[in-house]
Structure 1
Amino acid sequence: MNKKFIILSIIMLMPLCLAQDISVEKLLAYNKWSSQNQRAYLNEDEKLYRQIVFFENLQKIKEHNSNPNNTYSIHLNQFSDMTREEFAEKILMKQDLINDYMKGIGQQATHNNANNETQMNSQNHTLAASIDWRTKGAVTSVKDQGQCGSCWSFSAAALMESFNFIQNKALVNFSEQQLVDCVTPENGYPSYGCKGGWPATCLDYASKVGITTLDKYPYVAVQKNCTVTGTNNGFKLKKWIVIPNTSNDLKSALNFSPVSVLVDATNWDYYSSGIFNGCNQTNINLNHAVLAVGYDEKDNWIVKNSWSAGWGEHGYIRLAPNNTCGILSSNIQVTA
């Protein structure tokens, strides 16, 4: 980080820091958190800056959790020395890519001719009161994308992993890194490694080339050169569909298998547990791809994230019903 920026940020944040009356308790909290998260900074200036950011975030967490009206709690985690802007820059997808996707560029790789079939099925399908594919053994362990905006590859890999289990009774971890390295504009796909991309492009790629296992192509959290050749590289899907934008259609799809969904995760950074309803519903920005694995008896959505099992509810978040965080906006599902 630029030293002048750090110094300027310290000057700007210092009044907030002084106003909080930094106590021994807060210093101990920082030291404990820093040790647990193995933080090492370039110099003392950056360390001081990160401490100030941490103290401000700690205060926000305490204020949120002290409000009995909130339906979810937040907690310290790996993002606690980041500003909201840094979190968006390092973890979420870039806004220009999102804008292009919403204009239709990202949808070019999907099989849209299956939409009518999805709508007809949802109208005639008896929905379960609740469903959770984790209890059926169809969901792999929670992964960690690191400081790389590769959520799209994790969402797509998880979708294919679950379908492979449902179809072939084998729970296999697929390679997100293969998708990051190979699903690129150079290969004809509008996805951009750690800057962001689209699960649909991964499905298009895997249907032609196949996706190999995580063991054979490990994740490194940076984009590298594609090392895959040929068109017979493991699991190959045959068909996928776009899910219409209603709660009943998403629930109907989840009765068949997990679903790849796009969401606005701007305010997800410190989520710990409970029913999340903290998105600005009047200004939804789809900036993160995850996997919906079910819903509960109260219609809360159960979602698998890719920020490690230490985040949220062992790597999961429960979203309030309906279109919370834009979860109904752009969803796909493997069907064959």
Structure 2
Amino acid sequence: MNKKLILLSIIMLMPLCLAQNISIEKLLTYNKWSSQHQRVYLNEHEKLFRQMVFFENLQKIQEHNSDPNKTYSIHLNQFSDMTKEEFAEKILMKQDLVNHFIKEMDQQVTHNDSNSETQLNSKSLTIAASIDWRTKGAVTSVKNQGSCGSCWTFSAAALMESFNFIKNKVLVDFSEQQLVDCVTPANGYQSYGCSGGWPVSCLDYASKVGITTLDKYPYVAVQKNCNVTGTNNGFKPKGWIYIPNTSNEFKTALNFSPVSVIVDATNWGNYQSGIFNGCDQSHINYNHAVLVVGYDQQGNWIIKNSWNAYWGENGYIRLAPDNTCGILTYGYQVTA
């Protein structure tokens, strides 16, 4: 809080200088965006700060989109008055927690004996030139996690939703809020609601307790007390596997069903469309969980995100082939 106050104070000392560089067109763009996103600020100090952040982001967007060598475009959206640091703090998972998960999960690659048989069966599949599980009716609508780092529950719920459809031929929205509230240290899981967690923990929890539907346990974007009892609360995954980190293994797996992954989404905030390749591949920070629903003929990965359907390509992002943003490193798939 003190850091923000200091920053606001500094900005307040030079509004006239900054204003000289702000065109009428940019002010109109801000007013339109602010109205569209229903922005209400605590006071004039915060409003001025948010305006300056917005104008800086707008400048970056215009510079990026004017570069003909870029393979993707970026645009104004719900994150456009956030600094990069605020975006990471409010939307992405906490880095120290993720590092702890990684240390633990690196030692765990399978769940039970059914995995090896199912994995063998999946490897026998013919790898299609492209696949998109949306066209098969196996993917639910894009959700919105809000200002809560609960992406891990959305990735896990989406994974179970798709497998439930493939197995039982019914598409049902499962409850992310149940996972936020119940996959906790109190229940034996090192996951922390809006601060972060690991999708596989959700699978383990659901295999024991079951996951109920979204309409029975709605999402509220904050962690509350666990509101389920007993061990028969809906769908129960019986097995899952870790996907070896090669493109061929991932494509093979995706011919069986969608895959839950952990990625570096540090630079995803303003993505609008195209093939994203904007991660720093020399320094991957795993901080976001999503669902891979397929790949195209060029090998680009098709990703379902949880930042609402207005973000990106109707809520989706396409990543460049191979291990872009670390997509191949931590992939899991329900098998039974």
TM range, normalised to the smaller chain? over 0.9
Kindly indicate whether the alpha-carbon contact (under 8 Å) linking 1:88 and 1:266 is maintained by their aligned counterparts in 2: yes
- Matched residue of 1:220: which SS? coil
**How far off its partner does 1:14 sit?**
5.8
Identity, in percent, stands at: 76
Q: Secondary structure at the match of 1:104?
A: helix
Please report how far the alpha carbon of residue 109 of structure 1 lies from its aligned counterpart in structure 2 after TM superposition. 9.2
Measured on the aligned residues, the alpha-carbon RMSD in Å equals: 2.1
Matched, 1:205 2:212: no
SS in 2 for 1:274: strand
How many residues matched?
335
TM superposition shift of 1:104 = 1.8
Q: Indicate the SS of the match to 1:29.
A: helix
User: Secondary structure of 2:126's partner?
Assistant: coil
Question: Given the alignment of the two structures, is residue 4 of structure 1 paired with residue 5 of structure 2, yes or no?
Answer: yes
Amino acid at match of 2:141: S
State the Cα distance separating 1:108 from its structure 2 match. Answer: 5.4
* 1:113-170 CA-partner distances (Å, limit 9, x unpaired): 6775577556643200000000000000000000000000000000000011111111
Equivalent-residue separation in structure 2 for 1:235 and 1:164 (angstroms):
8
**1:6 positional shift:** 4.4
Partner of residue 45, structure 1: 45
The answer (yes or no) to whether the contact 2:112–2:239 under 8 Å persists in 1 is no
Counterpart of 1:258, as a letter, is P
Question: Hey, what does 1:35 align to over in structure 2?
Answer: 35
Task: Trace 1:43-192 onto structure 2 (pairs within 5 A).
Answer: 43-104=43-104, 111=111, 120=120, 124-192=124-192
How does the TM-score come out when normalised to structure 2? 0.95
Partner SS state of residue 73, structure 1: strand
What's 2:223 paired with? 223
Unaligned runs of 5+ in 1: none
2:224 and 2:109 map into 1 onto residues whose CA distance is 23
Distance 1:72 1:171, change over 3 A: same
In the superposition, relative to structure 1, how do residues 281 and 16 fare at CA in structure 2: closer, same or farther (>3 Å)? farther
Aligned to 2:258: 258
CA 123–253 in structure 1, closer or farther in 2 if over 3 Å, else same: closer
Structure 2 stretches of 5 or more lacking a match?
none
Q: Secondary structure in 2 aligned to 1:163?
A: helix
SS of 2:233's equivalent in the other structure is coil
Q: Secondary structure at the match of 2:308?
A: coil
Q: 1:168/1:114 Cα in 2 relative to 1: closer, same or farther (>3 Å)?
A: closer
SS at match of 1:293: strand
Contact 2:152 2:196 in 1 (8 A): yes
Distance 1:114 1:288, change over 3 A: farther
Corresponding letter in the other structure for 1:49: F
User: Is 2:242–2:332's contact at 8 Å kept on the other side of the alignment?
Assistant: yes
Q: TM-score, normalised by structure 1?
A: 0.95
Structure 1 stretch displaced more, 92-101 or 194-203: 92-101
CA shift in 2, pair 1:286/1:249, >3 Å: same
Instruction: Please say if residues 132 and 294 of structure 1, whose CA atoms lie closer than 8 Å, have aligned partners that are also in contact.
Output: yes
Using the TM superposition, give the Cα deviation of residue 76 of structure 1 relative to its aligned residue in structure 2, in angstroms: 0.1
What's the CA shift string for 1:265-305, capped at 9, x where partnerless?
00000000000000000001110000000000000000000
Answer whether contact 1:17 1:56 (CA < 8 A) is retained.
Answer: no
Residue 17 of structure 1, CA deviation? 3.8
Separation in 1, partners of 2:207, 2:14? 50
In structure 2, do the counterparts of structure 1 residues 115 and 231 end up closer, same or farther at CA, with 3 Å as the change threshold?
closer
